[in-house]
Every structure is written in C-alpha cells, then in structure tokens.
Amino acid sequence: MKKLLLTSTGLDNKAVTDKFLSIISKSPDELKILFIPTASRTEEEMFFVRKSLNELLSLGIDNDNIAWFDPDDSSTYRDNTQVDCIYVCGGNTFYLLYKLKESGYFAKIIEWVNEGLLYVGVSAGSVIAAPDINYILFMDVNDIGLGNTSAFSFVSASSIPHYTDECADAVHNLRSAGIEVVTISNGEALVVRGDKVEKVG
C-alpha cells in the first residue's frame, strides 16, 4: 500500500508529527531514513534542511540511521531493504527532479514507494509527488532549463505548499486550466494511504 506524508514545512506541527509516528512500523530509534537534501543549493535552503534533520532527531531517530543522499556519490545510495522511509527536503523543485532523474534514482523511488516504502516530502519534495511539476512555476524557478518536467505521479493532484491567500489567484488559474490542485499551508500535511487521502494539521 502506498504511504505518503506530503508537507510544506516538515514535522513542525504536533498533528503532523503524530501522524508520521502512526504511519511508521517501527519505534523511532529503529527507523532508518534515506534523507534527500538535493533540492537545497543555498545557505537559506540548507537552514531548512538542518531544521528537518533536527525534527527527526528530536523524535528519537538515531543520527546513524539517517543516510544523506548525494546524487553524485553512489556510495550514499540505499535500496528499499536498507531504509524504512525516504525523506525528501525542500529547495528548488526543478533541480531536485533533474538530479534524481540524472542519477537513475527517480525510477527506483517510484518502484519502492508504489510497493509501500514510506515517502515524506517537504515543500519541493511534496511538489514532485504530482504527475508534473510545471505548475509550480508561479512560485519556483526553472533556472536549469529542465525540459521534461514529468514527476512521480504518486498522487493525481498538484500540491501547493506554503499556501496563503496570496496564492489564491494562481490556484484559481490552475484549476481553470483543468489542473487538480490541493493546497498545503505551513504546518499542514497531506496523508496518503493507498487510495485514502486526508489533510492534517
């Protein structure tokens, strides 16, 4: 059964954290995570990566059980028998998608998540769960000129992280263009278990 936790800001809301803990099949100290910070290229973005890491550690997850993924270093790769969860941090969505595809890891993640490996997305990590990421151009920049923007298709809807009323016009335009959209405010999460979808936070 497919299991996703799509967030704007990670596990900084107790309701989201509680949902995460209810989904995992092990105690936190036994949980092994593949941590993907690839989308973050600036110091500001890395600040939020460190925030996500600290949130995981505060749950009692062992630092040695958090494997940092580097798409340019195959020694950091893990397969679905070595981890219980894939945690994809925020940053630039287009760069993230490009590097995952370039590394060959994109197809592996699709296979493993469809087989039931837990996927946690933060911001850009949530956006790439959609069928295509081109919709997010109103709040992100394709500064690498990525042409093929097809994404994981774990969910049919396109997630708008960090949603505020300022995004309302853009969301209206997307829906008018026939794009299925779900908004995720800071502190909220979209929880997917098989065909069941709920929002928490």
Catalytic residues: 123, 162
The residue behind tokens 């679905």 is: 80
97-106 contact pairs (CB < 8 A, 24+)? 97/128, 97/133, 97/146, 97/149, 97/151, 98/144, 98/146, 99/38, 99/71, 100/36, 100/38, 100/71, 100/128, 101/148, 102/71, 103/71, 103/72, 103/77, 105/69, 105/71, 105/77, 106/152
